[in-house]
Structure 1
Amino acid sequence: MKNLLSALVALLLPFWAAAQFSVSGKIVDQQTGQPLPGTTVILQGLQVSPSTVTTNSGTYQFNNVKAGSYVLKVSYIGYQNAQKAFSLSSNQTINLSLTASTLQAEEVTVSATRASNNSPTAFTNLRRKDIQKNNLGQDLPLLLNQTPSVVTTSDAGAGVGYTGIRIRGSDGTRINVTINGIPYNDAESQGSFFVDMPDFASSVDNIQIQRGVGTSTNGAGAFGGSINISTTTRRDSAYAELNNSAGSYGTVKNTVQLGTGLLGGKFTFDGRLSRIASDGYIDMASSNLQSYFLSGAYYGKTNVIRANVFAGHERTYQAWNGVPDNIIGDPDYAASIGENPRRYNELGIMPNGDRYRDQVDDYTQKHYQLLYDQTISRVLSFSGALHYTKGSGYYEEYREDDDLQNTYGIKPVTIGGTTIKNTNLARRRWLDNDFYGVTYSLKYHPSKLNLIIGGAYNKYDGDHFGNVLYTEQSAGIIPNYEYYRNNAKKNDFNIYSRAEYQLGKLLLYGDLQYRHVYYNIFGLENKMQQINNQATFNFFNPKAGITYEIDANNNVYASFAIGNREPNRNDFTDRVAGQPLPKSENLKDIELGYRINQANFNGSINGFYMIYKNQLVLTGQLNDVGSQVRTNVKDSYRAGIEAEGRVRITRALTWGANATLSTNKVKNFVQTLNASDENYDPLPSVVQTLAKSDLAFSPSLIAGSEITFSPVKNGSIAFLSKYVSKQYLDNTSNINPTGVTTSPDVAANPYAVNRYLKSYFVNDVRLNYNFAIKGVKNIGVTLLVNNIFSKKYEANGATYPDVESGYLVNYNYYFPQATRNFLASVNLRF
């Protein structure tokens, strides 16, 4: 019997050792005893530290935790952080009381434009360490590639230079971006050009990506999503960091960061200097980028004042036309002209075959921010900011056989008996602008109510002008002849009020915003047309929602929001003559979701139905500077399901994945195609009407995966995957007009026949190891192998269909992405 008992004990020992318990408790205000909902609670001691947030009653819970030693860390805005070490051998309850902080937490600056942890909004939070693990020199959008519903693109193919991001199929002009609550989107194009802030990710503390309309924010309305960026915050200890990366296609990144830590308990100073260079995957798609970031802060007992100055300069060889379909789809033809078909760049080629070396985009952008936070009382705080952005630059290009009279207003001249009407020349098109304003928010947060009143007033003043640098044949003009100039002014005012009220297990949410926009363009446009467009818009954007907490780790939510936004500059200037002015857009967004947060697993599933009125949709065409041309359509919608989750399989193995399944349709889309005969004389246009078709650049399935294995302490191997299904280049679902067939000259070339991007599945591998030696606090070594299986794919494109001699001819352009390539980095922290 004794032997049997011993054997039984030995048999059960592994099961007892693997026993799992729960850790739960309540977080309250030390002075009032009131619960603190939304407090972040982190359980440290596992390979991947799980986190959760407290419920409306201030409670939290971690389930399925193995026996061992742990540290519970707790943080909440406006309170001092707290932690408690403990040993776990049975279910344990740990209650903590937090003390109001004497130093106002800087997160208040951006909290006004962000969703809280229990808000009925679909969002993803990225911490600094999430961002930095992939920050080896590629542009900021590519660092967000593994978040739900996101598709990223790179003009140069390798992630350095001009890049793009789409959320739920909506491009960057429809994604609201703020930096410390200050609008970053260009006021006219509404796009966000991260190339103007190279290596900005090195100065980012955290990012929240909201999908759909989201919360009220400053700047243009969010029709696909919003990206809220918070820059460097307080670091109490002095530090110095050197980051150096190198990789394929001549890519090099050098970054130096310095910080004083907290001086005298009052002041901090931080700085960064960066440079990035790359030849690009596409031929003649080089990038030469520099930037800096400076920040100084004063910490008082109840207030914080921070000044940020940051700037970037980019000089990129133009690659915005992509690769023509007859090159990428016909290797034999490409070989006949001596080109690599996937890397061909047609821009800047002169008649003698040489490249025009200054076929570049050259732009400098400088930002000045003054941020102020004031704690008025335990429940009342104020944040305000003044900002100014100065942008100036040009793109220069070689033009072959341009019409002097119609394109530049230059009258033909006769020299030696020869009348010069056309000539080869070089020109620059300039943008010189100023953007400045004020943002503010007042936050009232007693125990059950979180009320924010905020707003902003911003002004934009931009000059657009162009110069002819030289003409190959004398045209009788002075050097730097100015052939057009116009000015644009835009005033943007908004005020909003947002409230969250806790009613038992229910969180009630309401958000009201009024926005006024005045926009005026006056002068001579680059198409030699006089323009005088004035437009005024008044928008009311209400939002409402509810969250129900099932328990400490589970909640469900639902919301309804209305968003409105104005057309951008190109919608006015690129419209066909005689067509009406573009209309503002309206969006009704319905969201329904479920979130779970446990020790070994956290995830969410979200359904959305976005109903558009007068949506400005992409036609698939590009204007002469590579921007997408858009047109209003009366009815369209996006509907789908997003899911994301992260599971800790073992102490060393975690898996994070996300997927979006959607349908994105436009109703009664009308496409008008120019037509011509065999002599290229114009014929009546061909009109195509489709009852229902797919929205351009809106894949029905987007999925991402990241498997991380940590075989040794401070070392990890990650396998990252991304799948994007077929995307159409226009809104026709690749359906040809009735009675019009494909030209037989291109019938064998799928890149010319089809107006879509093929689906692609790309995999990356990341290896990372950190260690320390005497005199160096940390040495981090990272190797990132992108597209490890060398998949050939295109992530972006454009199409220009017309009808020639009764046949449909598609002039398609594609943006091939790099095959297998790598980046390696060494980080030294002192």
Structure 2
Amino acid sequence: MKRSIIAALAVLLAPAFLNAQTKPDVKSRRDTAIRLDEITIKATRANEKSATTYKNLDKAEIEKNNFGQDLPFILNNTPGVVVTSDAGAGVGYTGIRIRGSDASRVNVTVNGIPYNDSESQGTFWVNMPDFASSVENIQIQRGVGTSTNGAGAFGGSVNIQTAGVADQAYAELNNTYGSFNTLKNTVKVGTGMIDNKWSFDGRLSRVKSDGFIDRAASDLKSYFLSGAYYGKKDLLRLNVFSGQEKTYQAWNGVPEAKLRGDLAGLEEHYNNNLDYLYYTEADRANLFNSDNRTYNQFTYKDQNDNYTQSHYQALYARQFTEQFSFNGALHYTDGAGYFEEFKNQQKFSKYGLPDVSVGGTSISKTNLVRRRWLDNDFYGLTYAFNYAPNQELNFTLGGAYNQYRGKHFGQIIWAEYASTAMNDYHYYDGKGNKDDFNSYAKVTYNPLAQLSLFADLQYRNVVYDITGMDKNRQPLDFHNTYNFFNPKVGATYVVNEQSNVYASFSVANKEPNRDDFTNLKVGLPVPKAERLNNAEAGYRFKNERITAGANVYGMFYKDQLIFTGEINDASDAYRQNVDKSSRIGLELDAAYLISSKFALNANAAFSRNKIKNYIDYVSEYDADFNLINVQATNYANPDISFSPNTVLFGELVYKPLPGFALAWQSKYVSKQYLDNTQNESRKLDAYWVNNARLGYDFSLKGIKNINIGLLVNNILDKKYESNGYTYSSIYPWAKVTENFYFPQAGTNFLLSLNLKF
């Protein structure tokens, strides 16, 4: 990896400072380059005339909030968004929810190319550290939106465009240091336009942090390389970017009794889990003696997650005529890695191994270290033809074909008592093969100067095969084919030069993810695909001082997959389809330029998120911890888990001097239930968190711009938890409910120094 980076940078830098020349027609050529760059993302983007609810973040907005935290934390200030961090400080494993929908229902594309994992359908931002430093702009679409490629969007879409052509040659050094030994170092270089035809850009980054949670350290590295050829009517851009992460596991959270300082409850937790977790004396000491909010169950020194993901993109756009254009892409993603964990007192039979005999004594259990591997490839193509014969009519015909090939396997790398396994022994091997094809046709028609109508018809075919053996050594043999029709229609009416109104109706369908099959309970039917009917209506206003929008939405699900409350012997949660569920809400978004020195930004999201009928299942065990029964309880119209009914954000910006800005940010998230029973004893409390951001830009001789930035997170030191989980079990002596939480850091800071040459 290091050699490839050095070689690529050498190629990149050689012409950067030797050949960069300014030509008389550079401006016109650059305008052409910008237009061609825009063509590459046109099919997946909404605009001010689209009947879509969206939010744009430009490069300047991204830069001023980029202190090295993962991308979700840069998106945190947008409507209806809730973010979380396993390590508690925004570096490492982080998550995002839009309108209460988790990452598996948020469609993410990079230059129009799907980024979501094909099997889990989630997005692992830890695999692309400091990617924000290579991003030109981001559009967040809430609801079904215009999502074109990848899995169906059930909560929203995040469309990312990487950096385009620069005005001239540049170099940047960006550095951040902060709490928990958080460190970000970024080097960026670019040539600008060379001979009015070529441009090259590169970035090299590292991000390190100890994390707020004990031993939740992250060591992240990444690079981004891009080269482009701009013709008079066409653009060819090659992107190569890669991320390498090593993250200490902090994904088990903190038991509620530990978090609350409840010693009696903690003793009960210890005893209830003694058989399952096989606590050692060292584990007990860690549980009872560590800090209540920073506790991490894992103490093994190499309890790490290790993964490398590399992306290769070839993007092409051509403007055949003023009316007709094309854009397409070839892409390949290579991912491989494992997580390593120490396990106490594991049965040999659980790993397909015979017991061992030591001194005539048969031994059936051993302490061991195992690795669970994922080795996958994702590749394919996307394309779109756009034809606009006149100002009233616009057609787009496009599609994509992508293939995913995933290998899942497990290894034992050390055991206290060795059985018959060799070093290359796989105690399980599974495969996931997925072919994803879609074709769509879009039309926009303006019968009147004030009225714009659109229709979007998509056909999507998914073939998904899961074979081999899962991590619990259960056979896998699932072969599924899905055919989806996803229509969208809408209208936008321009009231005047400052405002418009819009309305749309969209349908989205989404296949189950891998865990819905591998964790399928014996005797239950194979999960069905989910369906969403999404209605949106809104109003947008913009003048010199005010930008504002208001929208209402209804998201009505058929067969949404939700957690049932039951877990299997390996603590995997079951999901099953529920017949009907819905999300109905109101969102507000506004920016007000009060004066030359003051500005106000604010947004709000209010929602009602319900399951019409929900059945909760709780496992019942005998005194020897053998499963004997499952108790079912019906709930009518409960809230959907992790769906706050209120999310508010406000920011006051003060600019007393040129180049100097102060901002106070406030975020409020109402309570969220950990499961679908709407039980007050199983919830995340509401929280209100305040941050302060300072930025100062100035220049010195030889340095184009110097930026000093300071971000103080949670400045009022609020103690809060942004994520968690729960499960219940029934024993002969009691019903036990276990809640686990992910505490977020108290007051902490990040200080940055950024130099542009």
Partner SS state of residue 730, structure 1: coil
Displacement of 1:417 in angstroms is 1.2
> In structure 1, which of residues 284, 287, 292 is the aligned counterpart of residue 223 of structure 2?
292
Assess if the C-alpha contact under 8 Å between 2:152 and 2:509 holds in 1. Answer: yes
1:661 has 2:606 as partner: yes
Between the aligned partners of 1:774 and 1:121, the Cα distance in structure 2 is 46
Q: Summarize the Cα distance change of 1:327–1:635 in structure 2 as closer, same or farther, 3 Å threshold.
A: same
Q: Which amino acid aligns with 2:429?
A: R
Deviations 1:54-83 (A, max 9, x none): xxxxxxxxxxxxxxxxxxxxxxxxx9989x
> In structure 1, which of residues 554, 558, 570 is the aligned counterpart of residue 515 of structure 2?
570
**Bigger shift: 804-813 or 663-672?**
804-813
Quote the residue 2:7 is aligned against: none
Between the aligned partners of 1:328 and 1:442, the Cα distance in structure 2 is 56
Between the aligned partners of 2:507 and 2:341, the Cα distance in structure 1 is 42
1:755 has 2:682 as partner: yes
1:201 has 2:132 as partner: yes
> In structure 1, which of residues 357, 366, 381 is the aligned counterpart of residue 310 of structure 2?
366
Between the aligned partners of 1:248 and 1:331, the Cα distance in structure 2 is 29
Quote the residue 1:215 is aligned against: 146
Displacement of 1:478 in angstroms is 2.3
Partner SS state of residue 473, structure 1: coil
Q: Which amino acid aligns with 1:393?
A: G
Partner SS state of residue 538, structure 1: strand
> In structure 2, which of residues 74, 96, 104 is the aligned counterpart of residue 143 of structure 1?
74
Query: Number of residue pairs matched?
Result: 711
Assess if the C-alpha contact under 8 Å between 2:566 and 2:617 holds in 1. Answer: no
Alignment of 1:243-282 (within 5 A): 243-282=174-213
Q: Which amino acid aligns with 1:640?
A: G
Between the aligned partners of 1:203 and 1:440, the Cα distance in structure 2 is 23
Partner SS state of residue 694, structure 1: coil
Displacement of 1:337 in angstroms is 2.4
Quote the residue 2:40 is aligned against: 109
Quote the residue 2:331 is aligned against: 387
Alignment of 1:176-575 (within 5 A): 176-330=107-261, 332=263, 337-347=288-298, 355-405=299-349, 407-445=350-388, 446-504=390-448, 505-575=450-520
Assess if the C-alpha contact under 8 Å between 1:618 and 1:696 holds in 2. Answer: no
Between the aligned partners of 2:633 and 2:160, the Cα distance in structure 1 is 43
Quote the residue 1:154 is aligned against: 85
Deviations 1:636-685 (A, max 9, x none): 00001000101111111010100011000001100111123556454432
Q: Which amino acid aligns with 1:475?
A: S
Partner SS state of residue 358, structure 1: coil
Listed as ranges, the gaps of 5+ residues in structure 1 are 1-78, 83-97, 348-354, 736-753
Q: Summarize the Cα distance change of 1:763–1:192 in structure 2 as closer, same or farther, 3 Å threshold.
A: same
Q: Summarize the Cα distance change of 1:320–1:759 in structure 2 as closer, same or farther, 3 Å threshold.
A: same
Assess if the C-alpha contact under 8 Å between 1:620 and 1:696 holds in 2. Answer: no
> In structure 2, which of residues 94, 102, 105 is the aligned counterpart of residue 163 of structure 1?
94
Between the aligned partners of 2:33 and 2:674, the Cα distance in structure 1 is 55
Q: Summarize the Cα distance change of 1:213–1:204 in structure 2 as closer, same or farther, 3 Å threshold.
A: same
1:727 has 2:672 as partner: yes
Q: Summarize the Cα distance change of 1:313–1:286 in structure 2 as closer, same or farther, 3 Å threshold.
A: same
Between the aligned partners of 1:807 and 1:643, the Cα distance in structure 2 is 47
Between the aligned partners of 1:625 and 1:242, the Cα distance in structure 2 is 47
Q: Summarize the Cα distance change of 1:216–1:287 in structure 2 as closer, same or farther, 3 Å threshold.
A: closer
Identity between Structure 1 and Structure 2 (%) = 51
Displacement of 1:216 in angstroms is 3.7
Partner SS state of residue 637, structure 2: strand
Between the aligned partners of 2:569 and 2:607, the Cα distance in structure 1 is 32
Between the aligned partners of 1:369 and 1:679, the Cα distance in structure 2 is 55
Partner SS state of residue 737, structure 2: strand
Between the aligned partners of 1:183 and 1:99, the Cα distance in structure 2 is 28
Listed as ranges, the gaps of 5+ residues in structure 2 are 1-24, 267-284
Between the aligned partners of 1:184 and 1:257, the Cα distance in structure 2 is 23
- Give the aligned CA root-mean-square deviation in angstroms: 2.0
Assess if the C-alpha contact under 8 Å between 1:439 and 1:455 holds in 2. Answer: yes
Assess if the C-alpha contact under 8 Å between 1:544 and 1:560 holds in 2. Answer: yes
Partner SS state of residue 274, structure 1: strand
**Bigger shift: 618-627 or 159-168?**
618-627
Alignment of 1:621-640 (within 5 A): 629-640=574-585
Q: Which amino acid aligns with 2:172?
A: E
**Bigger shift: 470-479 or 514-523?**
470-479
Q: Summarize the Cα distance change of 1:624–1:197 in structure 2 as closer, same or farther, 3 Å threshold.
A: farther
Q: Which amino acid aligns with 1:338?
A: N
Partner SS state of residue 117, structure 1: coil
Displacement of 1:528 in angstroms is 0.7
Partner SS state of residue 344, structure 1: coil
Assess if the C-alpha contact under 8 Å between 1:177 and 1:192 holds in 2. Answer: yes
Quote the residue 1:95 is aligned against: none
Quote the residue 1:816 is aligned against: 743
Partner SS state of residue 710, structure 1: strand
Deviations 1:267-297 (A, max 9, x none): 0000000000000001010000000000000
Assess if the C-alpha contact under 8 Å between 1:172 and 1:191 holds in 2. Answer: yes
Q: Summarize the Cα distance change of 1:99–1:784 in structure 2 as closer, same or farther, 3 Å threshold.
A: closer
Partner SS state of residue 106, structure 1: helix
Q: Which amino acid aligns with 2:177?
A: A
**Bigger shift: 231-240 or 104-113?**
104-113
Assess if the C-alpha contact under 8 Å between 1:677 and 1:806 holds in 2. Answer: no
Displacement of 1:102 in angstroms is 7.8
Whose Rg is larger? 1
Deviations 1:350-395 (A, max 9, x none): xxxxx31110000000000000010000111100100000000000
Q: Summarize the Cα distance change of 1:643–1:765 in structure 2 as closer, same or farther, 3 Å threshold.
A: same
Between the aligned partners of 1:443 and 1:385, the Cα distance in structure 2 is 15
Assess if the C-alpha contact under 8 Å between 1:621 and 1:798 holds in 2. Answer: no
Deviations 1:302-337 (A, max 9, x none): 001000000000000001111112211225577982
Partner SS state of residue 142, structure 1: helix
Q: Which amino acid aligns with 2:344?
A: E
